[in-house]
Chains A and B, each alone.
Chain A
Amino acid sequence: MREHLKSCAQAVLDGESEIAEELARLTLEKKMDLLEVIENGFVAGIREVGKLWEEGILFLPELVMGAEAMKAAMELLQPALETEGSDREKVGHVVIGTIEGDIHDIGKTLVATMLSANGFKITDLGADVPAVRFVDEAEKNDADCIAISALLTTTMPGQKKVIEELDKRSMRSRVKVMVGGAPCDEKWAAEIGADGYAGDAVAAVSLARSLTGRG
């Protein structure tokens, strides 16, 4: 088992989607402990990827490959986990999108992918999303968190509108809000009353974990 866990972590670290899939299949075939393989194998791998990224050892394509390998394994393991009725801690649900007026998409997609690879359930609304829609989707999905990207100083105020809409519907206390994008920073997050700012996809995972206590 120890060797298997090590291989699972290594496959994610190496960004080897096919190997990760193969190991996930083997886990199911041999009826191994799903929780242990996920937590001590694949999750350990993706956390190491995040750590190496933060240390500047991995660069963007390697980070993406790690996330894709994790996703490939989890697509096979997650349904089995649900069938089994596992008591794995309920994952957090994040509604994510780029705010209205802004069509920058790829940075937000990277954040969504990393969150998903780290066990969060994601509702990705795409780009150019009106403030009201973020809140509608959070309400519909009973989400824990809304993540809003803005790449322009002219569209940043839209992030504040999302918070105002949450307030209006008395949802603010149960939905955390994180912001990101080139012109944003901690100060901006505090100014508009968001719960936090993340500068990149890995930081977004840490922030989402600390805000929701899940993932």
Chain B
Amino acid sequence: MDPVIIEKISIDIDREEVMRLLGRIDSEAGEIDARVVRAVDRGIEEAGRLCEPKGIYVVARGKDLPGVGIFDDLERMAFCVCTIGSRLEDKVTSLTTEGRLLDAVILDSAGSAAAEATARYMDELIAEEASKTGLKTSCRASPGYGDWDIREQKGLFSLVDGGKIGVSLSESCMMKPRKSVSFAKHIDKKPHRLRSENSCRNCDIDICPYRISDIQPE
């Protein structure tokens, strides 16, 4: 199947998510300093201006993915790469250099929330497409999480040309721009739970700021 490229994605940056990434685990906890509230609002607004969310995915067989073959028995999968571009992280770097660490930290977290929102958009798009043919999709699994080794990222990038949306892979398998997400989903009448989804499901740290919000510990 030809790759599907989405050039302009409209996302909302979730304020609660930004707060959570900044370490505010309990949203009901005491009142937040007004200066922090203003700085977070400014950060989210600026992130909205700087983000350029894009995504690309291909549908292929699990065994088409080069590497150790953890998805070999899955007939139909979607492999996706998405990003918010590099403008936001360039700004974070310049804020850090200027010594404006508070603004840098907040903008960085807003960027992470934006990248997650972009991934969620692509995730839903893939699920929607699958549903048109009566199929469902699994949760997302990403290289570097759970038992899917980050080095397998190279295989994913050989299937999905991240370069078409400006995402490249370094020798150490890090995506550039940093605020990018890659993932796979199983597409089937009864999709499997991909093993690496279990990283959040099996983890006891229920106050982790990095927990995937829709996966709770079992």
Contacts and interface: CB of A to CB of B under 8 A. Distances in A.
Given A101-B174, A106-B105, A61 B150 contact: no
Contact of B173 (A62, A113, A152): A152
A125 interface: no
9 contacts: A59-B23, A61-B36, A61-B105, A62-B33, A64-B101, A109-B96, A110-B101, A110-B105, A154-B151
A109 B101 contact: yes
Given A59-B24, A152-B172, A154-B172, A65 B102 contact: yes
A60 interface: yes
Contacts, number: 71
B59 interface: no
Interface residues of B, number: 32
Contact of B22 (A60, A67, A104, A109): A60
Contacts of B108: 106
B78 interface: no
Interface in A121-159: 152-155
Interface string B111-154: 00000000000000000000000000000000010000111000
A68 interface: yes
Interface in A1-55: 15
Interface of A: 15, 56-57, 59-62, 64-65, 67-68, 101-106, 109-110, 113, 152-155
Contacts of A65: 33, 35-36, 102
Contacts of B172: 101-102, 152, 154-155
Contact of A101 (B39, B96, B102, B170): B170
Interface string B144-172: 10000111000000000000000000111
Nearest to A59: B23
Given A59-B23, A105-B93, A68 B101 contact: yes
| Secondary structure class of chain A's binding surface, majority of residues | loop
A99 to B, nearest CB: 9
A101 B151 CA distance: 13
A109 B103 CA distance: 13
Sorted nearest first, the 9 A-B pairs with minimum C-beta distance are: A101-B172, A59-B23, A154-B172, A60-B23, A60-B22, A61-B36, A59-B24, A64-B102, A155-B172
Contacts of B144: 152-153
A59 B22 CA distance: 7
Contact of B40 (A61, A103, A105): A61
Interface in B22-43: 22-25, 30, 33, 35-36, 39-40
A101 B178 CA distance: 13
Interface string B70-103: 0000000000000000000000110010000110
Nearest to A100: B172
